[in-house]
Structure 1
Amino acid sequence: MNRKRLWALLIKESLQIIRDPSAILIAVILPLILLFLMGYAVSLDARNIPLGIINKSNTKEAHDLVSSFVGSSFFKTHIAYSKKELMQSLQDNELKGVLEVPESFGKHNNYSIQILIDATEPNTGGLTQNYASKIIQTWAIEEGIMPSRGITIVPRYWFNPPLSSRYFLIPGSISVVMTLIGILLTALVIAREWERGTMEALMATPTSMIEILLGKLIPYFILGLGSMLLCFVVAYFWYEIPFNGNFGILLLLSAFYLFPSLSIGLLISTIAKNQFVAAQVSIIAGFLPAFLLSGFLFEINNMPIVLQYFTYIIPARYFVESLQTIFLVGNIPSIFIKDMVCMFVVGLFFFTLVVKKTKKGLE
């Protein structure tokens, strides 16, 4: 490998990136758009859940309990005097739950209530039950209804005290964004050379194929790290996601992750030789697996066993785990080392395929 030739290729590719608006668009504008969409549009939390309330009791306890629900930010309450009316609204999907306070509530130490929940959306149904139970428990403690002796359960939530889904969605979304950037950027590189006819000119030079590949890989590797820094700034300063790890380790993890991502992109562009086809394949082979099978949104252990084995060749699986760990937990070397080794092995596999597939010829 000739250092001067490689340096010339690096300068050439860097100048091409600067002159190409699409590369800056993908590396700078696209991450911001995706992070803001995932930060605000994708949420596993629930607010303003429509809840119907019918209060048949005239006791002070019943009025206080209803007031607790009305004043909660979790529910948007609808007070009614007819259970039939609320049940009809529940069937029409206008309400997610109905709280019924019976006439005997608050009398003779009777505090039985009924909550009917629409479980067609299991996540929302579970949140409705949890939020309602928490409000009732808080109200009971304030009223002194809970027993003062005996076993007292004091929950403590580690790593995510406010129980905000954004705390793990944003780090996971950074992985998805970096996947799309790394694969999409490099998927267009060699395909663009073939379309413009400049690949023949590169092959006519004394440079070897490995020098050509490295000359295209390294500039986009640096550009990918810049995109990672941008994502970190948005996550930490805009969304105020806690960061409990070491920033140097974060860059190291990102570097290990960019290796397989960029290699997959190079492999796609080498096979496709067309920018449109390369872009489509990068979405299907890169973005969708990272979004659906990395553990970003869906628990891997809940997937069919065949898909669980398939996730081992998806680099985003390891990067999502590392990002969520370094943001919310801190530095856990055992996790980071395992994930970096796996990402390197996957990257080496795809880069080897690129080298074998890419030959210095026009066939």
Structure 2
Amino acid sequence: MMYSASQLAHRRLAGMIRKESLQILRDPSSIAIAFVLPVVMLILFGYGVSLDAKEVGIGFVIESPDSETSNVQAAFGQSEYFNSISFNSIQEAEQALRQQQISGIVWLKSDFSRRLHAGLGASIGAIINGVDANQARITEGYIAGAWQTWLTHYTERRGMPPAFPIKLDQRVWFNPAVHSRDFLVPGLIAVIMTLTGALLTALVMAREWERGTLEALLVTPIHIRELLLGKLIPYFVLGMGGMLLTVAMAVWQFDVPLRGSFLVLLAASALFMLVAVAMGLLISIIAKNQFIAGQIAIIVTFLPAFILSGFIFDINSAPWAIQWLTYIIPARYFVSILQTVFLAGDVWAVILPNAAMLALMACILLMLVRRKTSKRLE
């Protein structure tokens, strides 16, 4: 039976895809990286990592207890953000702060009630543990908010004018409950896809070099294009399967809202996965060694995606040189799409420019892979 050139090309490509698929099925580590690792990372970050400060230990020192100071302490104690602990003296509270038994101190001095009733501008003293700068800022804001809330209620009870002529009417969009999980889990999908896509494909060509099977492939009629597609397609499908698993867990396990279109999310994920597998294959072609390729993949793809993508740390808060560096990190664009699609919806002014950058990066990386492969194999 005679086959046309296109039919032969399709048969060779199908053979390569089948070969790589069987290799994946015979390698438990590939399945673990694609499906087990995302589950483990989601559980660790979803349950174990939180930027929300709750049950913050606050030491209360009241030098002259009375009804007003008790009301202030009760206002702090009723908040879900504080765990109020009473101390007899400021020295005891400071010692507890040094021993990290509490994160802050609220100090009501002996003249607090007298100055309050006399309208002399009563104030509270606040001492905060600043070892963790982020926790310190959060605690400081919580204390200021609790104090302002109590002061507003106090003036309303007495029919007094408000302490400030302007009242803040605050609304939080997209994440009204201000849960850090809703912010972290979508970004984590980008980190997981970077790790699975780049790390798995980084070992593909290097494994062929190490085992000496690449020469056997080269003596067959297979073309370079078919060889590369045969390597990329199975790992692309495997990575997309891991992506679907992580999205399902994000929505149904961690209750992260998906306000945008799933098809938009799927298309953006496919673009990013194409970038990730292209990066991994380029690393694999250059390294020719599985151990070295794996190390390079973690350093070049995973760590920048974790630190410089906006997944946890705000890019705008970084020095300008680091901000410019993030423009070559593909995960930066995908994290922006993920957080927008999950929390805000299909905001095309955000989605389209970031998707265009991912498409551009995919084209550049695939061209580099093709060029580098032809140089090494021909």
TM > 0.5 fold call: yes
Whether 1:61 and 2:76 are equivalent positions in the alignment is no
- The Cα shift of 1:141 comes to 3.8
Q: Which residue of 2 aligns with 1:90?
A: 97
Q: Deviations over 1:62-120 (max 9, x none)?
A: 11221222233322222111111112222343332110112233342554211112223
- The Cα shift of 1:150 comes to 4.9
Q: Which runs of 5+ in 2 are unaligned?
A: 1-5
Q: Which runs of 5+ in 1 are unaligned?
A: none
Q: Which residue of 2 aligns with 1:297?
A: 312
SS of the residue corresponding to residue 84 of structure 2 reads strand
Q: Quick one: which of 30, 33, 37 aligns to 2:37?
A: 30
Distance 2:173 2:118 in 1: 36
- TM-score normalised by length of structure 2: 0.91
**Is the contact made by 2:334 and 2:354 (CA closer than 8 Å) also made in structure 1?**
yes
Distance 1:318 1:174 in 2: 13
Whether 1:356 and 2:371 are equivalent positions in the alignment is yes
Q: Mean Cα displacement is larger for which, 139-148 or 318-327? A: 139-148
Q: Mean Cα displacement is larger for which, 23-32 or 126-135? A: 126-135
SS of the residue corresponding to residue 61 of structure 2 reads strand
Give the fraction of aligned pairs with identical amino acids, expressed as a percent: 45
Amino acid at match of 1:6: L
Number of residue-to-residue matches in the alignment:
363
**Is the contact made by 1:209 and 1:360 (CA closer than 8 Å) also made in structure 2?**
no
SS of the residue corresponding to residue 325 of structure 1 reads helix
Q: Deviations over 1:267-314 (max 9, x none)?
A: 111111111111111100110011111111222222232322221121
**Is the contact made by 2:258 and 2:342 (CA closer than 8 Å) also made in structure 1?**
yes
Q: Quick one: which of 224, 235, 246 aligns to 1:209?
A: 224
Q: Which residue of 1 aligns with 2:3?
A: none
Distance 1:239 1:140 in 2: 37
Distance 2:326 2:205 in 1: 27
Q: How does 1:136-215 map to 2 (within 5 A)?
A: 136-143=147-154, 144=156, 147=161, 150-215=165-230
Distance 1:57 1:347, change over 3 A: same
SS of the residue corresponding to residue 86 of structure 2 reads strand
SS of the residue corresponding to residue 359 of structure 1 reads helix
SS of the residue corresponding to residue 112 of structure 2 reads coil
Q: Which residue of 2 aligns with 1:13?
A: 20
**Is the contact made by 1:241 and 1:327 (CA closer than 8 Å) also made in structure 2?**
yes
Distance 1:197 1:88, change over 3 A: same
- The Cα shift of 1:127 comes to 0.9
Q: Quick one: which of 136, 141, 145 aligns to 1:130?
A: 141
**Is the contact made by 2:183 and 2:339 (CA closer than 8 Å) also made in structure 1?**
yes
Q: Deviations over 1:196-224 (max 9, x none)?
A: 22211111110111111011111111111
Considering only aligned residues, what root-mean-square deviation do their CA atoms show, in Å?
1.9
Q: Mean Cα displacement is larger for which, 308-317 or 178-187? A: 308-317
**Is the contact made by 2:63 and 2:89 (CA closer than 8 Å) also made in structure 1?**
no
Distance 1:282 1:296 in 2: 19
Distance 1:361 1:279, change over 3 A: closer
Distance 2:376 2:90 in 1: 78
